[in-house]
Amino acid sequence: MQFKSDALVLRAVDYGESDKIVTLFTADRGKLAANLKGVRKAGARLGFAAQPFCFAEYVLNEKSGRHTVVSASLYDGFYALRTDISAFYAAGAVAELCDRLMYEGMTNGRLFVAAVRALKELCEGEGNSALVRFFLFALKEAGYPVRAGECPICGKMPLGRMAFDMESGSFGCAQCLQGVPASETTFRAVRAALGEKDCAEETPDGSLRALRLLKAYLSHHTQARLPALDELLRL
């Protein structure tokens, strides 16, 4: 059976003599693995379709549960990511998050659209704030929303020293809430990424702090490893 799907390449591994197996995040069928035959040969017609972050319409053939790519038409290869190391690792983190949070048989068109948008924003130089926005959206979709508003204990807007509760994903005052220490910079970066109008500006330092906290929060709940994000935080 043949079908068409808009899809994003999350990762690709070499297979056999000259094939590649790509993990595709499709808009309408979730995540699936597909073989690209002969694609490592020089001048292969579908070489682009096996590149990380390739966003294309794929024509796939399904036979006994195995998928083969028949053809693909490119929407965007996000090639600008290759010229900026931090944007490249941030894009890698977007792909890793989709890969870790989607399991086979699950579809999420909203997450797909958000991932494509995040890659576009990274290409346009929006930096880590684009990744923070995507990370928060992906966490919410996975059932781990982050709240950065009034303290859940006293009901006031937290200021200065704060705490973050890994169980509920909430910020609160350091004196009210049990949790890991969190800075006001992190809190404001998360609020900005959540679209709160009082925090229009997200500083580069705030984005990095927010990414460290979100990584710890995700691994607290899922044990998911994110090597590209680790590289980004090491730069």
Specify the residue for token string 């999420």. 108
Residue 154 found at the interface with Zn ion (CB under 5 A):
yes
Among 50, 72, 173, 213, binds Zn ion (CB under 5 A): 173
Q: Which stretch binds Zn ion (CB under 5 A): 21-29, 107-115, 147-155, 192-200?
A: 147-155
How many amino acids of this chain bind Zn ion (CB under 5 A)?
A: 5
Q: Pick from 59, 70, 80, 153 the residue near Zn ion by CB under 5 A.
A: 153
Using an 8 Å Cβ cutoff, are 24 and 9 in contact?
yes
Distances (CA, A) of 152 to 132, 170, 175, 218: 23, 7, 12, 20
Q: How far is the CB of 182 from Zn ion (least distance, A)?
A: 13
Q: Is 174 in the site for Zn ion (CB under 5 A)?
A: no
110/161 with CB nearer Zn ion: 161
Minimum Å gap between C-beta 74 and Zn ion is 51
Residue 21 tokens, joined: 């197996």
Of 46 and 163, which CB lies nearer to Zn ion in the complex structure?
163
Tell me the H-state helices in the chain. 85-101, 109-123, 128-141, 184-193, 204-222, 227-234
- Least distance in angstroms from the C-beta of 108 to Zn ion: 34
**Is 85 a binder of Zn ion (CB under 5 A)?**
no
The C-alpha atoms of residue 166 and residue 147 are separated, in whole angstroms, by 11
Q: Measured on CA atoms in the order 192, 198, 202, 206, is the torsion positive or negative?
A: negative
Instruction: Measure the CA dihedral 121/126/130/132, to 10°.
Output: 170
Q: Which stretch binds Zn ion (CB under 5 A): 86-94, 115-123, 176-184, 192-200?
A: 176-184
Say whether residue 44 binds Zn ion (CB under 5 A).
no
Q: Which stretch binds Zn ion (CB under 5 A): 10-18, 119-127, 151-159, 191-199?
A: 151-159
Q: Does 151 bind Zn ion (CB under 5 A)?
A: yes
From the list 31-39, 46-54, 85-93, 171-179, the region that binds Zn ion by CB under 5 A is 171-179
Q: Binding of Zn ion at residue 176 (CB under 5 A)?
A: yes
Q: State the first-to-last Cα distance of the chain, in angstroms, to the nearest integer.
A: 45
Calculate the alpha carbon distances from 222 to 72, 131, 148, 213 in Å: 34, 19, 21, 14
Closest CA to 91 of 26, 135, 146: 135
- Alpha carbon distance 201, 48 (integer Å): 37
Closer to Zn ion by CB, 36 or 151: give it: 151
Q: Considering only the stretches 57-65, 90-98, 153-161, 188-196, report the one whose residues sit in contact with Zn ion under the rule CB under 5 A.
A: 153-161
Residues that bind Zn ion (CB under 5 A): 151, 153-154, 173, 176
